Amino acid sequence: MGASTGSDGSNGSNGSSGSNGSSGSDGGDGGNGSEPTAFEPLPPLADHFPRSRKIEVGELAVPMREIALTDGGICTVYDTSGPQGCDVHAGLPKRRAAWIAARAGVATPTQLWFARQGVVTEEMQFIAIREGVEADFVRSEVARGRAIIPASIKHPELEPVIIGRNFLTKINANIGNSAIRSSIEEEVSKLQWSIRWGADTVMDLSTGEAINATREAILRNSPVPIGTVPIYQALEKVNGRVEDLSLPLFLETLEEQCEQGVDYFTIHAGVLMRTIPMTARRTTGIVSRGGSILAKWCLSHHKENFIYEGFEEICRLLARYDVSFSLGDGLRPGSIADANDEAQLTELAVLGELTKVAWEHNCQVMIEGPGHVPMNKIKENVDLQLELCHEAPFYTLGPLVTDIAPGYDHITSAIGAAMIGWYGTAMLCYVTPKEHLGLPDRQDVKDGVIAYKIAAHAADLAKGHPRAQERDDLLSKARFEFRWEDQFNLGLDPVTARSYHDETLPADNAKTAHFCSMCGPKFCSMRISQDIRDAAQASEAEAGMAAMSERFKEHGGEVYLPADSVSVDADLAIDTALITEAAGSQSGGQSGGQSGGQSGGQAGSQAGGHSEPTA
Ligand code: SF4
């Protein structure tokens, strides 16, 4: 899927190259000559998520993460991080092995086939617990093609996940070996890094000599579905000569990857002789690498796309392994100017036709989408996809809602991702800050995944997913009650949240203080709000409110006051001492915060021009 360019399944960047755990391009590995950032073994989970522990629920041992709160409460969250501490060379435990073995002899052992027979598989039961829904609802959504469970019968290490608009919105991250060949341990480390921060599926865009060994290591160590773009490996086999690609070679490549356990394939079957000319007047042409490869093949042979022609044969192969289709948008727009154009929408209709063909073969299908779309055209995209593709799950890259922010495309795309998720897109392919610019490093991957976790969760809230708001409410309560540790630990990235807080208030006792350096003690609106409540509860509610009103009037009836006009009560004096102490520990001895010149300890109460806190 590509953003600009993208990827095919990946998102990629227009040639920026590759993927080093990255958003890579549909180009896979690219070699842009950049030195990849080393991916070292991960620290223990508790280093990133303090007061968290992994648990397994029920007989199927469904993994979740429990966050212990300081008020004695527990918050249980969806967890993709997989078993911890396993030997990379031995791989993960094969939790699905017995489930799969019990189905031996079924000709088309796909989750779609079972769902249509009325069978609730173990994978469906597992997902029902994970998502907090009824198992038969999972089955019915799969049966009607509105959700898929990418779960190859050759991937027993998988913790099943569902992709569909009536479930939690999922996100994908991309990894792949780099131009300078990386070790297998490094590739597995990239996978582990992506899922630690919450990637629900991972696309392996590896290329090069060690592609099979790399993919094998990734699969044996992956608790999440793994997707690939097989045309890349097929092209490697013909030494990059597009003209030498053929259906037999492609089928051979697919079968090799099926045997290894890949869970879904990005396949560009919708790039056709009649649709290619529609890209001629575009601002950014064909930006999908897979799309451009197949367009070149079609034009050089003057023949129809061999993947389109051989689609039913491909279906028969994928059905044997329950490998899902991710029907690639080879003609996606690579710029705002090209959004929702004739080429894109004609291809989308072709993908809709192919969806029906795949369903006839009991294959599971999702549809890839753009890319670059301004906000006013996002809803139309989803509406058309639902109609033309018969409600098969939509899987989009972003989309980026503007092209003017290189270096910040994880933000421009997360805006579009949140919107398109809200309208019903089932999975969002991440974009990193390096999109269009270079090889993402470890921090870029984390930034991209976190940006997309925010977008996906925001979509789930807006869609009213039954359990989405629990965590928000717990965090809001912790925030209002000044339980700082809980506020950090309930967040997506506790360590970063704590470090920002501690920049200005590092002392331990600041973790119970009734303010932070943003507004300072005298102007902490939540503290004032609590004071009002406390006063109301201590006496008659009306009397309490009257007292506060009097106090307000005593100060001239102004919401904001110069600091020197306000008398400091005993509690405030303690807090002020605390923040003064914290400020003293800062370099330069300056008091307080630095955010926008607004905040910080006493400074927060002095600055004439206050800005409102977001709290
Ligand atoms: S941001 Fe302002 S209102 Fe919120 S906790 Fe900090 S000081 Fe209080």
Q: Whose CA is nearest to atom 6 of ligand 1?
A: 516
**Averaged pLDDT, 233-262:** 97
Predicted confidence (pLDDT) per residue in 537-548, tens digit: 876 666 767 777
pLDDT category of residue 29 using cuts at 50, 70 and 90? very low
Does ligand 1 lie within 6 Å of residue 524's CB atom? Answer: yes
Of 498, 476, 473, the closest CA to residue 485 belongs to: 498
**Other Cβ atoms within 10 Å of 85 Cβ, number:** 7
Residue appearing with tokens 């003064």: 580
Q: Whose CA is nearest to atom 5 of ligand 1?
A: 515
Question: Which is the closest atom of ligand 1 to the Cα of 604?
Answer: 7
pLDDT category of residue 560 using cuts at 50, 70 and 90? low
How far, in Å, CA of 149 to CA of 237, rounded? 30
Q: Whose CA is nearest to atom 8 of ligand 1?
A: 524
pLDDT category of residue 555 using cuts at 50, 70 and 90? confident
CA torsion sign for 438, 442, 443, 445 is positive
Question: Which is the closest atom of ligand 1 to the Cα of 615?
Answer: 4
Question: Which is the closest atom of ligand 1 to the Cα of 482?
Answer: 5
DSSP assignment string, 426-445? -EEE---TTTTTS---HHHH
DSSP assignment string, 530-547? HHHHHHHHHS-HHHHHHH
How far, in Å, CA of 191 to CA of 442, rounded? 11
How far, in Å, CA of 226 to CA of 166, rounded? 22
5 neighbors 287 (Cβ within 8 angstroms): yes
Q: Residue 155: what residue type?
A: H
Does ligand 1 lie within 6 Å of residue 518's CB atom? Answer: yes
Q: Is the pLDDT of residue 456 over 80?
A: yes
| 399 cis-preceded (ω within 30 degrees of 0) | yes
Does ligand 1 lie within 6 Å of residue 613's CB atom? Answer: yes
pLDDT, greater one: 90 or 566: 90
pLDDT category of residue 37 using cuts at 50, 70 and 90? very low
Phi and psi for 175 in degrees, rounded to 5? -135, 175
| 30 cis-preceded (ω within 30 degrees of 0) | no
Does ligand 1 lie within 6 Å of residue 519's CB atom? Answer: yes
How far, in Å, CA of 275 to CA of 264, rounded? 25
Q: Is the pLDDT of residue 48 over 70?
A: yes
Does ligand 1 lie within 6 Å of residue 525's CB atom? Answer: yes
pLDDT category of residue 264 using cuts at 50, 70 and 90? very high
**Averaged pLDDT, 132-144:** 97
Predicted confidence (pLDDT) per residue in 396-442, tens digit: 999 999 999 999 999 999 999 999 999 999 999 999 999 888 878 88
pLDDT of residue 553: 80
Q: Is the pLDDT of residue 380 over 80?
A: yes
**Averaged pLDDT, 170-184:** 76
Give the angle subtended at the CA of 506 by the CAs of 500 and 507, to the nearest 5°.
150
pLDDT, greater one: 182 or 362: 362
Question: Which is the closest atom of ligand 1 to the Cα of 521?
Answer: 7
Q: Whose CA is nearest to atom 4 of ligand 1?
A: 615
CA torsion sign for 16, 30, 434, 191 is positive
221 neighbors 157 (Cβ within 8 angstroms): yes
Does ligand 1 lie within 6 Å of residue 516's CB atom? Answer: yes
Q: Which of 524, 531, 560, 612 to mutate to test the pocket of ligand 1 (most atoms within 8 A of CB)?
A: 524
Q: Is the pLDDT of residue 549 over 90?
A: no
Structure tokens at 142: 């799969």
Question: Which is the closest atom of ligand 1 to the Cα of 479?
Answer: 5
State the distance from the centre of ligand 1 to the C-alpha of 414, rounded, in angstroms.
26
How far, in Å, CA of 586 to CA of 579, rounded? 11
Predicted confidence (pLDDT) per residue in 107-126, tens digit: 999 999 999 999 999 999 99
C-alpha R_g of the chain: 27
Does ligand 1 lie within 6 Å of residue 515's CB atom? Answer: yes
State the distance from the centre of ligand 1 to the C-alpha of 180, rounded, in angstroms.
48
How confident is the prediction for the chain on average, in pLDDT?
85
State the distance from the centre of ligand 1 to the C-alpha of 48, rounded, in angstroms.
25
pLDDT of residue 17: 31
Please name every residue paired with 266 in a beta bridge, in sequence order, or none if there are none.
Answer: 326
Edge-to-edge order in the sheet of strand 62-68: 52-57, 62-68, 74-78
Residue appearing with tokens 């090889």: 439
Helices 184-196, 442-463: crossing angle, 10 deg rounding: 30
Phi and psi for 265 in degrees, rounded to 5? -115, 135
State the distance from the centre of ligand 1 to the C-alpha of 488, rounded, in angstroms.
14
State the distance from the centre of ligand 1 to the C-alpha of 492, rounded, in angstroms.
20
Residue appearing with tokens 């590995």: 29
265 neighbors 228 (Cβ within 8 angstroms): yes
Does ligand 1 lie within 6 Å of residue 449's CB atom? Answer: no
Predicted confidence (pLDDT) per residue in 220-230, tens digit: 999 999 999 99
Q: Which of 501, 525, 605 to mutate to test the pocket of ligand 1 (most atoms within 8 A of CB)?
A: 525
66 neighbors 220 (Cβ within 8 angstroms): no
Of 160, 193, 155, the closest CA to residue 43 belongs to: 193
Q: In this prediction, what percent of the chain has a pLDDT beyond 70?
A: 82
How far, in Å, CA of 206 to CA of 214, rounded? 8
State the distance from the centre of ligand 1 to the C-alpha of 524, rounded, in angstroms.
5
| Residue 107 Rama label (left phi>0; alpha psi -120 to 50; beta) | alpha
CB half-sphere exposure, 229, CA atoms < 13 A:
38
CB half-sphere exposure, 216, CA atoms < 13 A:
8
Question: Which is the closest atom of ligand 1 to the Cα of 526?
Answer: 3
**Averaged pLDDT, 277-290:** 94
State the distance from the centre of ligand 1 to the C-alpha of 590, rounded, in angstroms.
20
Burial of 613: CB neighbours in 10 Å, binned 0-12, 13-18, 19+: middle
pLDDT of residue 609: 32
